Homo-oligomer: A and B are copies of this chain.
Amino acid sequence: MTHNTAPPSDLTFWSFVDYAVQKAEQELPSVNADAMRLVLTLNRATSMVIYDLESSVHRPRGLTWPGFRVIFALWLAGPMEAKTTAEISGMSRAALSALLNTLERDGLILRERATHDRRALQLSLTEDGYRAILGGFRAHNRRESAWAEALEPAERQELVRLLNKLMAGSTEAKAKFRS
């Protein structure tokens, strides 16, 4: 059985994508290797960048990555309804609800009932939250810059263009979105 073949002894994080694509083509000749390579690579690159940002910038300052995203959104977009925060920071309403417990307990955000709709929550940063995002974002952006320097300016622009085109295709692809 091919699935019991021993792995190459030198299999590493770096060599796995090439190995996996080649092996999958052997096991399943009908596989779309380009799509497979694209998604594998996309996932790896992002997870490296985010892990680095979270572990080297945000956790040492007392924020998780999701916590940072929420504070960041509130910093830039100002006080807003929780529903909007969830949407623009890319998380479900339930996940945000749980996350807000921590951020509120740590005194970074304020959770208030909206006046025009008593079901809705109005979120805003506290002064501590504002201080946290100011310092945190500067460090965050320095780390982002270090990553971005791997690419030429034109390459950065092209990468963003391709990612946006990929996202735009999600409608066509009938992708499932968070609710």
Contacts and interface: CB of A to CB of B under 8 A. Distances in A.
Contact of A162 (B46, B55, B151): B151
A169 B144 contact: no
A172 B148 CA distance: 11
Contacts of A151: 38, 162, 165-166, 169
A146 B162 contact: no
Given A11-B84, A35-B141, A167 B51 contact: no
Interface in A18-56: 19-20, 23-24, 27-28, 31-32, 34-39, 41-53, 55-56
A6 interface: yes
A24 to B, nearest CB: 6
Contact of A166 (B23, B145, B150, B172): B150
B34 A153 contact: yes
Candidate in A55, A155, A167 with the most chain B CB atoms within 10 angstroms: A167
A87 interface: yes
A105 B109 CA distance: 40
Interface of A: 3-8, 11-13, 16, 19-20, 23-24, 27-28, 31-32, 34-39, 41-53, 55-56, 72-73, 75-80, 84, 87-88, 90, 124-125, 130, 137-138, 141-151, 153, 155-160, 162-170, 172-178
